[in-house]
Amino acid sequence: MRGLDGKVAIVTGGATSIGAAIVRAFHGAGTKVAIADINREAGASLAAELGSRALFHPTNVAVDEQIVACVKAVVDRFGGLDFLVNNACIYIDHGLESSREEWLQSFNVNVVSGARFVREAAPQMRARGGGAIVNLSSIAARFGQAGRALYPACKAAILQLTRNEAMELAAHKIRVNSIAPGWTWSASIERATAGDRAKADRVGADYHPLGRIGDPEDVARAVMFLCSDEAAFITGVNLPVDGGHAMTGPDQGKPATWRLSQ
């Protein structure tokens, strides 16, 4: 895609899973990419594998000083910043039984950290004449689900935050969009299925009309599109990458007569 080669990106939570797929996609497109992650072993290993156009900067996204240090390190190393992907996330969620501490921790990492990264990254993008930011939301932002509260509330908040950021930064030619993945092969689903991808696809097919769960690379390709020149006139939108999950509704796309016959 046009407009990625030679640019500079930061991916939070970029050491593993979806984040690592995004890092690899940027690198494959010729972008210099920084991995901002608390996982030192995985982050350093990925950066070493990718070589001189990759940088690992140990970053706890819940600490402002570390966010500031990360952006500075990237600008010092690569000379500027063009793209930011706010992917870092925690999955603490005991539904309505969650403690105040858990609520605050979830919003701190899942929502506030991305906003703080934007605060530090935007001036660097303005200095380059513009840029693009992608925030990771989720299909969970749209649907009610018993037993969960923190994660869906955070992901819903990201949708509104994206719109606000897009409005504020449009004058500086900085585009801000979000992506809402469906079920995606990642550490949590791998643990739940004991590594059985076929089982994950089989169960996920009931909720995803395209008949499988997503791959991390599906999300990464969407990020590349939203950062590229191909999306130069797109800002403030949420792009579902969910195999059709968001369109199915409570009947999962099956006619009512099918439900009544079961």
pLDDT digits (tens, 9 = 90+) for 79-97: 999 999 999 999 999 999 9
pLDDT score for 258: 46
Neighbour tally for 209: CB within 10 Å: 14
At residue 145, the pLDDT reads 83
Start-to-end C-alpha separation, the chain: 47
Residues annotated as part of the active site: 151
The number of helix segments (H) and strand segments (E) in the chain equals 11, 7
φ and ψ at residue 5, rounded to 5 degrees: -65, 130
Q: Which pLDDT score is estimated for 248? A: 82
CA–CA dist 3, 16 (Å, integer):
25
pLDDT of residue 143: 85
CA distances from 158 to 99, 101, 102 (A): 21, 20, 18
What pLDDT is stored for residue 255 in this prediction? 60
Strands 174-181 and 238-241: parallel
Round to whole Å and give the CA distance between 23 and 27.
6
In this structure, the number of other CB atoms found within 10 A of the CB of residue 94 comes to 12
Where the chain has pLDDT below 70, the residues are 249-262
CATH 3.40.50.1010 holds for 8-261: no
Can you say whether the dihedral through the CA atoms of 166, 158, 241, 143 is positive or negative?
Answer: negative
pLDDT value of residue 260: 47
Classify 122 as helix, strand or coil. helix
Q: 131 CB contacts (<8 Å, ≥6 apart)?
A: 81, 82, 83, 84, 121, 122, 124, 125, 173, 174, 175
- Chain centroid to CA 26: 14
For the chain, give every domain's residue range.
Answer: 8-261
Q: Tell me the pLDDT tens digit for each residue of 120-165.
A: 999 999 999 999 999 999 999 988 888 899 999 999 999 999 999 9
